[in-house]
């Protein structure tokens, strides 16, 4: 099933955004999949999923660290999200449901203001729809499902754009892509590529040392090129 970004974004949502989020909303209107990755979803293939890029009033972004016992992407920092269920009306509903299940987030406090083009993770054959949310009324977040999540983080945007926290990640598989070292996490792969694209698109990125390469020392294989 293919999801249209137009069908699930509240037409009034953008008027509720704080001015500092306007560049992200504008980015969502013009960005293409090829701006974010070289992997374009194959037509009619792949299992659909959604992730929630949730921006909080403290200029932060909600991240989780996936449980080390999961079969895929174990231990990896990520945006909340997961596969679409038959009962999900659209990608927005799936992203909010998954975020609630993983972090205890109250979806009633979230305003969905946009979405990004579908992206493809070849190694798992997931077609992922990134959903953009404004956390108008923050609720407590925590490890709601230890089987899925090992930790929950609200990472300041200032930390993500700080040149000292930016890097490229090298994986023994040959993968080299953008990364972030924040709150004791090495954010890389799909999530880092998506965050990097949003920061660049919004004009928030500042020059950083692209020669800083951090080797990945785990056994996870995921590939989102940039």
Q: Over range 33-37, report the average pLDDT.
A: 89
Residue 124 lies in a domain: yes
| DSSP secondary structure, 169-200, as one string | EE-TTS-EEEEEEETTEEE-HHHHHHHHHHHH
Residue 79 lies in a domain: yes
pTM: 0.89
Residue 168 lies in a domain: no
Residue 132 lies in a domain: yes
How many helices, marked H, and strands, marked E, lie in the chain? 5, 12
Residue 194 corresponds to which tokens in the numbers above? 């998506």
Domains of the chain: total: 1
- Neighbour tally for 112: CB within 10 Å: 22
Contact by Cβ (8 Å): 92, 11: no
Residue 226 lies in a domain: no
- pLDDT confidence of 41, banded at 50, 70, 90? confident
- Interatomic CA distance for residues 36 and 45, integer angstroms: 20
* Phi, psi (rounded to 5 degrees) for 95: -65, -45
**Whether pLDDT at 106 is above 50:** yes
Residue 166 lies in a domain: no
For the stretch 170-187, pLDDT in tens is 988 788 999 999 999 999
Range with top average pLDDT, 60-64, 115-119, 222-226: 60-64
- pLDDT confidence of 147, banded at 50, 70, 90? confident
Residue 222 lies in a domain: no
Which single residue is written with the structure tokens 């992922």?
Answer: 128
Residue-averaged pLDDT of the chain: 87
CA 133 to chain centre: 11
Contact by Cβ (8 Å): 127, 136: no
Which single residue is written with the structure tokens 């090298």?
Answer: 170
Domain span holding position 94? 13-157
């Amino acid at each position: 099933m293919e999801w249209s970004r137009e069908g699930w974004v509240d037409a009034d949502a953008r008027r509720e955004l704080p001015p500092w989020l306007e560049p992200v909303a504008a980015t969502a209107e013009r960005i293409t999949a090829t701006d974010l990755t070289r992997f374009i979803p194959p037509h009619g293939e792949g299992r659909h999923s959604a992730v929630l890029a949730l921006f909080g009033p403290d200029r932060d972004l909600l991240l989780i660290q996936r449980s080390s016992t999961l079969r895929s992407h174990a231990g990896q920092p990520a945006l909340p999200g997961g596969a679409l269920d038959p009962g999900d009306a659209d990608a927005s509903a799936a992203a909010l449901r998954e975020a609630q299940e993983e972090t205890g987030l109250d979806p009633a406090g979230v305003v969905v203001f946009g979405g990004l083009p579908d992206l493809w993770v070849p190694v798992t054959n997931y077609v992922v729809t990134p959903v953009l949310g404004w956390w108008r009324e923050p609720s407590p977040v925590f490890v709601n499902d230890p089987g899925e999540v090992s930790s929950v983080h609200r990472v300041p945007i200032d930390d993500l754009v700080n040149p000292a926290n930016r890097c490229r990640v090298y994986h023994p598989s040959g993968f080299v892509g953008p990364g972030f070292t924040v709150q004791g996490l090495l954010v890389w792969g799909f999530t880092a590529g998506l965050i990097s694209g949003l920061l660049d698109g919004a004009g928030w990125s500042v020059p950083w040392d692209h020669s800083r390469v951090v080797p990945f020392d785990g056994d996870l294989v995921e590939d989102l090129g940039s």
